[in-house]
Amino acid sequence: MDCIIAAQRLYTPLQAVERPLVFIADGRIAKFSRRDEEQIPAGAKVVDLEDSILVPGFIDMHIHGGAGHDVMEPAAEALPAVEKLLFRHGVTSYFPTTVTASVDLTLAALERLAGAIEQFEQGRREFSGRARPLGIHLEGPFISHKRPGVHPLKDLLPPTLEMFEKFWQAARGHIKVLTIAPELEGAKEVITEAARRGVCVSMGHSDADTKAAQSGITAGARHATHTFNAMRPLDHREPGILGEALADERLTAEIIADGVHVDPLVVELFLRAKGPDASVLVTDATAATGMPNGKYRLGSLEVDVIDGKCTSNGKLAGSVLTLDQAVRNVIKFAKWDLQQAVRLATVNPARAAGLPANMGTIHPGVAADMVALGASGEVRRTIVQGRLE
């Protein structure tokens, strides 16, 4: 037994346990119980987190960078810097997210990110004090010229099986999330093939009408990328992709709950529509996250950050949001309690991304990735694979 962690409360997050004991062995959760139900073995190492609330480690399935670094940059110090920042904000695993760039730059970034993922999988990389990458989110280049956001138009490509295969090979099969506009010619074939390979196909950066969105879902899409942003607006006679994202129970949907990308009232309406099972919090964070005002990189783009707002040529360009702040914002914007809000950053992204059963929860057999929170959701301590920093 590595250690036993005690706290005031535990949210799995699907159930609540008062005065829990979590038994950790070989970096995994062996079991958990209430203190009054379990005898602590003599000589066991007990870490008492006192009045903290234990929850699963947060999972960010859409993040471009942080701490002054972008996940696509080649510098050796880039990913470690991003991962240390994430760790401080309760994120124990993440999906490094690309932004549209030239094919050569994208292929090189995919190869580097694949290497980082494989170092973790093969035990060749120390993740103490850092979040770990679980897979790659390929955002672009298969997106709409009408809804590109800040993705450079010159680098957008029509979706083809040949180009998807090039990206897949460069990533050595580690693409786990793909954002695509379903209305594009060739999109249906790519969606079908990506879904067959186990990729979470997400509809986004799209001007799809209802018919095109429904076609994408039929082909295998099961998620929506930063709902409302870079997406055809809702029309009461032609609800389009946004109507499908909000109403179709087959889709999970992510939202950037920073109060900048989406008004707090709309965040509340989104949560009412998708509910506690299908809503996913993401940050869409850039290199500027955790940094002062200034100029930073987003892929091949330069972004300006002033007072928490990232822009490029006047358009929103990612965020400086952290996932723990997104959880607290849900509590503030929608009046949800902490246990409900935590679901949107743990079990929901795990399920949306198609991670193995019970990931994103505190459950026997899963990695001991947890966060100790205060009553209002502030991060007190982050635990990766049972290691307490």
Give one DSSP letter per residue of 35-72, joined into a string. Answer: GGG-PPPTT--EEE-TT-EEEEPEEEEEE-EETTEETT
Residues of the chain with pLDDT under 50: none
Q: Is the dihedral of CA 323, 329, 330, 335 positive or negative?
A: positive
Quick check: bond before 141 cis, omega within 30?
yes
| Cβ 340 vs Cβ 173: under 8 Å | no
pLDDT in tens, 26-54: 999 999 999 989 888 888 899 999 999 99
C-alpha 261/C-alpha 157 separation (Å) is: 26
CA-nearest of 337, 301, 340, 294 to 317 is 301
Is 284 a residue of the active site? yes
What does the chain come to in residues? 389
DSSP 234: P
DSSP 15: S
**Residue 124: predicted pLDDT:** 63
Catalytic residue (choose from 60, 70, 284, 369) = 284
**Residue 388: predicted pLDDT:** 80
202 residue type, one letter: S
CA-nearest of 234, 339, 346 to 282 is 346
Number of C-beta neighbours around residue 342 at 10 A: 27
Domain annotation for the chain: domains and CATH numbers:
3-53+377-388 (2.30.40.10), 58-357 (3.20.20.140)
**Residue 120: predicted pLDDT:** 85
**Residue 374: predicted pLDDT:** 98
* Residue 376 neighbours by CB under 8 Å, 6+ apart: 328, 331, 338
Helix (H, G, I), strand (E, B) or coil at 14: coil
C-alpha 187/C-alpha 178 separation (Å) is: 11
- 365 class by beta-carbon count within 10 Å (0-12 exposed, 13-18 middle, 19+ buried): exposed
**Residue 358: predicted pLDDT:** 96
CA-nearest of 257, 211, 205 to 232 is 205
Tokens representing 251? 């889709």
C-alpha 138/C-alpha 183 separation (Å) is: 18
What pTM value is reported for the model?
0.97
**Residue 43: predicted pLDDT:** 84
DSSP 367: B
| Cβ 28 vs Cβ 343: under 8 Å | no
